[in-house]
Structure 1
Amino acid sequence: MISFDEFVTARGPALLRFGYLMCGDRHLAEDILQEVLAKVYRRWGRIARTEPPEAYVRRAILHQYLSWRRRRASTEAVVAQVPEHPDSGLMADHVAVRDEMWALLDTLPRVQRAVLVLRYYLDLPDPEIADLVGCAPATVRVHAFRALGALRTRLSAHLTAEDRSG
């Protein structure tokens, strides 16, 4: 049986990335992960013996994210240093598209966002997503369908607005 310290050392960065993908905010992801690890630590002996610990912790992160009550006070991104010159070239375009997609994902309800992350980032099948989220596989498909439809609508509106302004 792996110790709690060994588990956190080995899988902590991956769990933090998973939390970040859920909420889109590194600090909030750290808070969620910290709360989950504090709860898991108390029951580690039982958890490590009964099921794969990482699956249990991911499920706990997902549930903590879905029930999280705090909201960000603003949409400002805090950086350590203000860059002198903006990046240019393809990297800047890639970052802009990625940031735009994260902004669009932030507009989705939490369950829909969670379903998209579980499906497209972790590549989980619908029955496994349903088990994690606590719904039927058909409901997972409905959440994904509605989330993708909302993203398409918002992206189309955004592109139309850009065409009119530029």
Structure 2
Amino acid sequence: MDDRTDAAYLGYVHGRIPALRRIAYLLSGDEHQADDLVQETITKLYARWPRISAVENVDAYVHSMMVRAFLDEKRRGWWRVGLWGAGPDRAASGPAHAAADDRTVLRAALARVPRRQQAVLVLRFLCDRPVAEVAEILGCSEGTVKSQTSHGLNALRKILGEPLPAGHDKGGRRS
């Protein structure tokens, strides 16, 4: 790439790193995996920057790249080695500790939801993206986003032991 193209890429990336890292963390629930997702995304972005920089909504395109990297990671995960069963204990108390406990429980439950449903829930509720934008990011229809949202929320309710809304059977389907 020429110097102007490199400068445009660097300007874009430097301005978006915090937002990209936030989305990656919301998707993965792990700081190190989030860093890996961001690194993979911006590396691919650099290789394609001359074409991508001309796209109308670069942010949506980059978010799509990141979500796809997150979803594809499951296929590549065989080489990852878990060295510890759990992270180190941290001492905490008070209301902030209770909120942290809630986040930990929710993150653990979200990690048990199928990855595509997890991506939809993160984009819809934690990133506050509209259905149409999530559909664009995931490359699917708005109806698919809505059904994945419903299935994902039902899966979370089941995992968390909360009752399903009226009209749903034990499998999470409407009766």
Same fold (TM over 0.5): yes
Q: Which letter does structure 2 place at the counterpart of 1:9?
A: H
CA deviations on 1:52-101 (whole Å, 9 max, x unpaired) are: 32222111001111111216644522x5xx65xx2111011010011000
- Structure 2 alignment gaps of length 5 or more: 163-175
1:16 is aligned to 21
TM-score, normalised with respect to structure 1: 0.82
1:59 to 61, 64, 80: 64
Quote the offset at 1:37 in angstroms. Answer: 1.0
1:160 is aligned to none
Quote the offset at 1:105 in angstroms. Answer: 0.3
- Structure 1 alignment gaps of length 5 or more: 158-166
2:86 is aligned to 76
2:165 is aligned to none
Separation in 1 of the partners of 2:111 and 2:159? 12
Separation in 1 of the partners of 2:32 and 2:48? 25
Separation in 2 of the partners of 1:65 and 1:127? 20
The answer to whether 1:143 aligns with 2:153 is no
2:133 is aligned to 128
Quote the offset at 1:107 in angstroms. Answer: 0.3
Separation in 1 of the partners of 2:77 and 2:139? 22
Q: Secondary structure at the match of 1:128?
A: helix
Q: Is the 8 A contact 2:109 2:156 kept in 1?
A: yes
Q: Which letter does structure 2 place at the counterpart of 1:13?
A: P
Separation in 1 of the partners of 2:145 and 2:67? 14
Q: Is the 8 A contact 2:61 2:137 kept in 1?
A: no
Q: Which letter does structure 1 place at the counterpart of 2:55?
A: T
Quote the offset at 1:18 in angstroms. Answer: 0.6
TM-score, normalised with respect to structure 2: 0.79
CA deviations on 1:108-141 (whole Å, 9 max, x unpaired) are: 1110011001111222222221221122211111
Separation in 2 of the partners of 1:43 and 1:130? 22
Separation in 2 of the partners of 1:41 and 1:111? 26
